[in-house]
Amino acid sequence: MRPSNRAPEAMRPVSLERGVARYAEGSCLVKFGETHVLCAASIEDKAPGWLRGQGRGWVTAEYAMLPRATHQRTRREVTSGKPSGRTQEIQRLIGRSLRAVVDLKALGERQITVDCDVLQADGGTRTASITGAWVALHDCLQWMKARDMLKGEALKDHVAAISCGIYKGAPVADLDYAEDSSCETDANFVLTGSGGIVEVQGTAEGAPFSEEELLALLKLAKDGCASLVELQKLAVA
Amino acid sequence: MRPSNRAPEAMRPVSLERGVARYAEGSCLVKFGETHVLCAASIEDKAPGWLRGQGRGWVTAEYAMLPRATHQRTRREVTSGKPSGRTQEIQRLIGRSLRAVVDLKALGERQITVDCDVLQADGGTRTASITGAWVALHDCLQWMKARDMLKGEALKDHVAAISCGIYKGAPVADLDYAEDSSCETDANFVLTGSGGIVEVQGTAEGAPFSEEELLALLKLAKDGCASLVELQKLAVA
Amino acid sequence: MRPSNRAPEAMRPVSLERGVARYAEGSCLVKFGETHVLCAASIEDKAPGWLRGQGRGWVTAEYAMLPRATHQRTRREVTSGKPSGRTQEIQRLIGRSLRAVVDLKALGERQITVDCDVLQADGGTRTASITGAWVALHDCLQWMKARDMLKGEALKDHVAAISCGIYKGAPVADLDYAEDSSCETDANFVLTGSGGIVEVQGTAEGAPFSEEELLALLKLAKDGCASLVELQKLAVA
Amino acid sequence: MRPSNRAPEAMRPVSLERGVARYAEGSCLVKFGETHVLCAASIEDKAPGWLRGQGRGWVTAEYAMLPRATHQRTRREVTSGKPSGRTQEIQRLIGRSLRAVVDLKALGERQITVDCDVLQADGGTRTASITGAWVALHDCLQWMKARDMLKGEALKDHVAAISCGIYKGAPVADLDYAEDSSCETDANFVLTGSGGIVEVQGTAEGAPFSEEELLALLKLAKDGCASLVELQKLAVA
Amino acid sequence: MRPSNRAPEAMRPVSLERGVARYAEGSCLVKFGETHVLCAASIEDKAPGWLRGQGRGWVTAEYAMLPRATHQRTRREVTSGKPSGRTQEIQRLIGRSLRAVVDLKALGERQITVDCDVLQADGGTRTASITGAWVALHDCLQWMKARDMLKGEALKDHVAAISCGIYKGAPVADLDYAEDSSCETDANFVLTGSGGIVEVQGTAEGAPFSEEELLALLKLAKDGCASLVELQKLAVA
Amino acid sequence: MRPSNRAPEAMRPVSLERGVARYAEGSCLVKFGETHVLCAASIEDKAPGWLRGQGRGWVTAEYAMLPRATHQRTRREVTSGKPSGRTQEIQRLIGRSLRAVVDLKALGERQITVDCDVLQADGGTRTASITGAWVALHDCLQWMKARDMLKGEALKDHVAAISCGIYKGAPVADLDYAEDSSCETDANFVLTGSGGIVEVQGTAEGAPFSEEELLALLKLAKDGCASLVELQKLAVA
């Protein structure tokens, strides 16, 4: 039995609200239940230094949590002078996930940064971030298209993400904090709209897991991401 | 004529929404027009080190802006390794303002931190922060009172803040970004519910200003803060 | 009764000694009683990056205290890796104050940095710094004028500063450390030679203060700064 | 055809040399072809702060590369003041992998740190590190057992790791640098001696990959790790 | 011919002015010609952490230059976040030199920090610092003795320092900046009052030097330090 | 009697193994007994910024120890955010020593960095580093010569280093850790192949030392460095 009484394959209620950041070129407030992330896309009119002169652009992401997004207040990372290892892992993951569905040549020598700021955290902040960041990125690219800034179609596909895990011996979808902090295995999946795998990150928190368990989690993730992609389509329609 | 067509003494629409941060002991989303700040109060069960053993508590504040709160994206402060001078000035100001209306002995050896995170910025983020932080602090103290954690009445008065300025030669209240970036004189006032001055910070951006101008700005501030205090009363009623 | 037995409006003995830093383009050792600050102005032949190509210059300031300027030794800020919030507030204030009386276009694309290093601290280090920094800046501009580096008159007016406060219920001028650490209200005023207000920063340390008290402090400040400006005139004569 | 002419399932020559760090409680120089990592295990007689008083110990890892381990010299991380995101990801991965096969209660309140320093890098430094770190950890635990420092059997299983990928459309095992920098999909697998999965990290560098491809890579990884475990057994025999 | 027209063995005018820092337990403004260093000794009532419980104290030093001590303004080290290698070398040298003549057991578990802040720099700042720091330390120990804080005689001898060098082929004493920046060999000597060598640091800036040259420089240093010790005796008499 | 039973003038067994870093332009694993340092030379095709446009190159060095090179594990310097004072002293010394025997004009506007990473430490790491770094530098210059990158002969002489000390009253050569940590005086000498002195750094750890003792140590150093230079000649033959 899950703490939330959800069925093993049931996700939390998901909402994707566009246009929440007045000044950003694209934005989305994504909610996976009590996990809320504000995603905002910004264009910069030059590519990062290591990419200059190659006629291509770049998409990157930054991630942070408000100090009181969590049950207990956490210190701001600026007070320790640097992003934590966890933060860096997450923002690299979001960036890779978005780049997997963007044609960087179409951007020209520009960079899009998608900021994912967690207003409230109840597990699954990185997967909610990826799912919402896609919407912010979509709107940013629409904004650019409307100004003739793109060379051809920049957005190749949807991308969405979900965390699944083995909780009390059973594979379940969309872990919330209560599950995440006590599950045996935790796996994040990033999938495209056409069902391809962009990223799999599975970790045994207790005992190692088996190939069968990995496949069961992948099955849940495919169904979950398909639903998320449907919601993205509705949101940007 | 003000860019927003407001009368000289007219503030922007103000709203104070309580309870927006699910896990915080007190919280408030404050809006001064298009300036939106999420204020969240957190209790920590020990006083800061330099205060230990004195039987008193402390109230402090931290302040930050989301990168895309602004018209142009700003870099996260964590990437430069430390809060900017401006950030430090503002969070010290918010902390002093709140402490001016709290009986620190009533807290016992505990610290309350009020995080003020600017979701959207259109001028006046520090004055909105102070005004909203008072509501978050109020609710946090109510939460403590309900658990018998306070020794007597901790909250002595309201505190609210407003920025006024000389814009095109005329004193105006509650500067928005368009005014703030081109006014001749900018002054922040922090006042209590009973009308006492907690803080005055007036700066000539261009030509020096006169005693008469200072008094005209103070007059606007008194009226504005009185309105803000009324809104605080409604919010916590 | 003030700890120093001074009359309420009496400042400490002030001295302004020019030319104390052999290699600087302008310098002044300013003493407000036992508060001693070494001010040295340096020219750099390029404007800061954000100002390039605009045909204007910049004036900025840096501030620090020797570790044993104070009654108890304080740690060097380099050991914590960054200037404290207090240091940043003060150096921003000094810079703004100086810029209020300089025609930045006359400098050309150059930057003048005035370093204010506190050799001994007995309260009022920021106001002494501003008062002495004006002399260093004056001499630096004279040095430039002698070398035909200025386009027209760069220095528009004097600027001086004083801290006043409510001490044991009475408004007094030029707080020393004993007063500063126990006064009810502390206000710093930066005024020009012609009596205009460049900056007012008033803070209630205990109970809030009233409009009348603010005006009484402003009155003291006007008289005090007028005296300081006379001393500046004598110093550079 | 692989750049090294290896068969798709063929690993590079692997060697595990124990006892190479004279002063460490356990050490191993691991070579996967031209990738060489020096692993050294150190005991500290107290657990990390957040674990104190729980009667358990901890195993952690640190990872770094010598500046000229690589084809082009890379800057030391100390010159940028902090470990890069990549370094932090890797050392967290090594630590998790080792903890998956250790009974932390058997350690008592002690911490073992395994330092993995890459002397030469030709791809697969993290998987070589995990494989070699197990040997260093094994010897460290033997050292402790010989001194009666363990409560029961601390080492529950072997753990080894391998990177596999889709290179020119074909699944191949143990990517070297030439393959790693141009493959379509890159996946790191950490497996136990009994074949359980501790960690899967698969990333599409170009096009997304399919479930079938994931399974093909897992098959290669199982065979590869089984060989590595055999080599570990020989090494510590 | 030396730029200053001094004879090869002639030092610059040296002065040692005690009691210049009102709040320090001991202080000295030392001048070697145009090199001026303010030395201030501070007592802290606990030993550094690594020395606790051993019944001994510690003497340490910190060193810095005001930004405009030099011909060209130098950046404050706090802006780069850490003391430079040069600064650290110098403060370690001053600390070692002072400890060579102090009985650390006599201090009890206390630390004395001598801050050496260069107000003006014309070569030889480290040797002037050591020579002046001894006077500050002496007065600090007297202050402690007057309060019965010492166990027996803490100060065992004088210590002084001088830089000598090979300038245009000839050995000369007490290099000033003009010599220091163009000499062939530069050597700093720290000697005790009884003539023992505490530290020798000789560096060939151009061609290597010979044993004979090293001995010639040592001869100059012995004579110079003997004079400095005489001046110290006069200063503290 | 020395702990190692060596005769006073006897060095530890020394070996110099070239070509150990596959990708470096020159490399050497140097062993002074149980002290092992990996030296690797890297060419960068531009001079440091402050040297640009002068037609000269630069040689610099970096130094670090693996955490478990030592008897007790030491923290990585990256975790404290900056190299320690000791590290900076050592890398500056290595760089100066190498530059003393290089014609920087022959390099053109290029920089050679020699990384000295201590794999195992038993005293004398800086002197071993200098001695091995010369070999790495030699091979790097050969590599450049073979590619016609040098203007004339770049390497003017050998350079080698040794630490000598007064141990239990007697002068001894090539201190190991046991001697280094308890000797009365410790002196590092850097000498050229032709016997010139590049650097002398002598420090009294306990009582000051005399001129006679300094000369005895220099005698030992001259003999020791002569042997080291012979080994360098054999190594690069």
Give per-residue pLDDT as tens, D127-151: 999 999 999 999 999 999 999 999 9
Looking at residue F48, its pLDDT comes to: 92
Question: F: neighbours with 3+ CB pairs under 8 Å?
Answer: D, E
* pLDDT score, position C78: 85
Measured CA to CA, the distance from residue C225 to residue C210 in angstroms comes to 22
- pLDDT for A96 equals 95
* Model pLDDT for residues D102-111, shown as the tens digit of each residue: 999 999 999 9
What average pLDDT does the segment F231-237 reach?
96
Closest partner CB to B81 (pick from A69, A82, A120)? A82
The string of pLDDT tens digits covering residues C170-187 is 999 999 999 999 999 999
Residue of C nearest to B83 (CA): C85
Model confidence over C18-75: pLDDT tens digits? 999 999 999 999 999 999 999 999 999 989 989 989 999 999 999 999 999 999 999 9
Percentage of residues in chain A having pLDDT higher than 90: 92
Assess contact for B205 and B183: CB atoms under 8 A. Answer: yes
Band the pLDDT of F9: cuts 50, 70, 90: very high
Structure tokens at D210: 């399919």
Residue-level pLDDT at E31: 98
* Tokens representing residue E45 in the block: 């009532």
Mean local confidence (pLDDT), B157-186:
96
With a CB cutoff of 8 Å and minimum separation 6, the contacts of B3 are B176, B178, B179
- F60 marked ligand binding residue: no
- d(C-alpha C206, C-alpha A180), whole Å: 48
pLDDT band at C81 (very low <50, low <70, confident <90, very high): confident
Known binder of ligand: residue C125?
yes
Largest CA distance in chain C: 56
The helix (H) or strand (E) run that includes residue D202 is: strand D197-204
**Digit-coded pLDDT (tens) for F112-130:** 999 999 999 999 999 999 9
Q: Distance between CA atoms of F237 and F231, rounded to whole angstroms?
A: 10
Question: Is the pLDDT reported for residue F103 higher than 80?
Answer: yes
Residue D22 banded pLDDT, cuts 50, 70, 90: very high
**Share of residues in chain A with pLDDT > 70 (%):** 100
Least confident residue range of D71-80, F38-47, F222-231: D71-80
pLDDT at B78: 86
Mutate to test the interface with E, among F63, F199, F212 (most CBs of E within 10 A): F199
For residue C66, the chain E residue with the least C-alpha distance is E117
Quickly tell me which residue has 């001693």 as its tokens.
C36
Compare CB distances from F66 to D38, D77, D82 and report the shortest one's residue.
D38
So what's the pLDDT on residue C80? Answer: 80
State mean pLDDT over D75-80.
88
Residues of C in contact with E23 (CB under 8 A): 68-71, 120
Q: Kindly report the average pLDDT of chain D as a whole number.
A: 96
The CA-atom distances, in angstroms, between D109 and each of B55, C110, D150 are: 35, 61, 10
Give the count of beta carbons closer than 10 Å to the beta carbon of residue F231. 17
Q: How confident is the model at residue E84 (pLDDT cuts 50, 70, 90)?
A: confident
Chain B: residue nearest A41 by CA? B68
Distance of alpha carbon B136 from alpha carbon B64, whole angstroms? 16
Chains that touch C (3 or more CB pairs under 8 A): B, E
Instruction: State residue C100's pLDDT score.
Output: 96
SS3 C10: coil
pLDDT of residue D205: 85
Residues F199, E204: C-beta atoms closer than 8 Å: yes
Counting as low any pLDDT under 70, the low residues of chain A are: none
All partners of chain A with 3 or more CB pairs under 8 angstroms: B, D
Classified as helix, coil or strand, B186 is: strand
DSSP D177-199: HHHHTT-SEEEEEEEETTS-EEE
R_g over Cα of chain B? 18
Mean pLDDT value across residues B156-166? 97
ipTM: 0.94
Average pLDDT over residues F162-191: 96
- Chain E residues in contact with F85 (beta carbon < 8 A): 83, 85, 88-89, 91-92
| Nearest alpha-carbon partner for A118 in E100, F138, B66, C220 | B66
Of residues C203, C193, C221, C225, the one with CA closest to residue C8: C221
pLDDT at position E125: 98
Contact C197 B218 (CB under 8 A): no
Interface test with D, best of A72, A88, A186 (most D CBs within 10 A): A88
3-state secondary structure of C226: helix
Contact: A120, B23; criterion CB under 8 Å: yes
Q: For residue D228, give the nearest of D137, D130, D116, D140 by alpha carbon.
A: D130
Over residues C8-14, mean pLDDT: 97
Which residues of E touch chain F, with CB atoms under 8 Å apart?
81-85, 88-89, 91-92, 96, 100, 187, 191-192, 194, 196-204, 207-211, 214-215, 218
DSSP bridge partners of B3: none
- What amino acid occupies position F102? V
Mean local confidence (pLDDT), E136-149? 98
DSSP calls for chain A: --TT---TTPPPPEEEEE--STTSSEEEEEEETTEEEEEEEEEESS--GGGTTSS--EEEEEEEE-GGGSSS----GGGGTS--HHHHHHHHHHHHHHHTTB-GGGG-S-EEEEEEEEEE-SS-HHHHHHHHHHHHHHHHHHHHHHTT--SS--B-S-EEEEEEEEETTEEEES--HHHHTT-SEEEEEEEETTS-EEEEEEEESSS-B-HHHHHHHHHHHHHHHHHHHHHHHHHH-
Question: Are F88 and E89 a contacting pair at CB < 8 A?
Answer: yes
Tokens 């002494």 sit on residue: C128
Average pLDDT over residues F11-30: 97
The pLDDT value given to residue D191: 98
Taking CA–CA distances from D120, the nearest residue in chain F reads F21
pLDDT > 90? residue E104: yes
pLDDT above 70 coverage of chain C, percent: 100
pLDDT in tens, A192-210: 999 999 999 999 988 899 9
What percentage of chain C reaches a pLDDT higher than 90? 92
- Residue D207 CA to residue D229 CA, distance in Å, equals 32
Q: Give residue C71's pLDDT.
A: 93
The per-residue pLDDT of chain E, averaged, comes to 96
- Chain A residues with CB-CB distance to D under 8 A? 81-85, 88-89, 91-92, 96, 100, 187, 191-192, 194, 196-204, 207-211, 214-215, 218
B59 pLDDT band (50/70/90 cuts)?
Answer: very high
Contacts of E24 (CB under 8 A, 6+ apart): C68, E40, E41, E42, E136, E140
- Give the pLDDT of residue F80: 80
Can you give the pLDDT at residue C59?
97
Q: How far apart are CA C24 and CA C41, in angstroms?
A: 6
pLDDT at E82 over 90: no
What is the 8-class DSSP label of residue D147? Answer: T
